[in-house]
A = this chain, B = another copy of it.
Amino acid sequence: MISKSEIKSITQLQQKKYRDARNLFIAEGPKVIKELLAEGLQLNTFFSTEISEVTEKNHRHISPQELKKISSLKTPNSSLAVFEKPSLQKFKDSGLVVALDAVRDPGNLGTIIRLCDWFGVTQLVCSRDTTDCYNPKVIQATMGSIARVSVQYVLLADVLQNSTLPTFGAFLDGKNVYKNRMPPEGIIVLGNEANGVSEEISAIISEKISIPQFGNTTAESLNVATATAILLSEFKRAY
């Protein structure tokens, strides 16, 4: 059983202001929940329609109808968990870092977090107007990687200006990334889905890089998550 006030309190977590105020977020589906638990994230409450999954004190057995009321998914899975947000980490000025300037689509942000995890990038710095990484759609798209990548919301211009790392920005008119050997450390900056990297940030970036187009196409650009995939591959591949 789940009360009306509980339903309200959980569905409120689909909104950033409530997540921020209560320092909680939602994850759905056994796979994602299991990964977050394995990474040591603090569980607040766990709800499941499967009695076999309800094994701990703070576990609750609910009906599929009840799950539907608290889920953010069109087709809810068998379980939903409320987790405490991990503590914020400070920017460490070393290694390979990905930076996002106003990326808005939750699916893109989730995919980029999953890519960082795959390529061993432990820091993702985001401008304050990048979408919130605790949005339920982001959490779903990360497939658990959210627990292994430190996502930091910062004044991006300040971080880039104060960093000793070289900064690389993805632009349509940058240097061909395939013709330049990329260093093992640096900050790779990707911009907004519609407008690319902002003027303020462009002015700070030390090197503009580009993924060239092949063949006879009028395609305007690549999706920001696929561009991130290709750039991370280029920085990490053995030459």
Contacts and interface: CB of A to CB of B under 8 A. Distances in A.
A237 B230 CA distance: 11
Nearest to A216: B120
Given A230-B233, A233-B234, A234-B233, A117 B223 contact: no
A56 interface: no
Contacts of A223: 111, 114
Nearest to A225: B226
A222 interface: yes
A218 interface: yes
A217 interface: yes
A219 B111 contact: no
A143 B219 CA distance: 8
Contacts of A183: none
Contacts of A119: 214-215
A76 interface: no
A226 B232 CA distance: 11
A111 to B, nearest CB: 6
Interface in A90-105: none
Contacts of A85: none
A214 B236 contact: yes
Interface in A140-191: 143-145, 148, 178-179
Which A-B residue pairs are the 4 nearest by beta carbons?
A120-B215, A120-B214, A226-B229, A229-B229
16 contacts: A38-B218, A111-B226, A114-B219, A114-B223, A118-B213, A118-B222, A120-B213, A120-B215, A120-B216, A143-B220, A145-B217, A148-B218, A211-B233, A227-B229, A229-B229, A233-B233
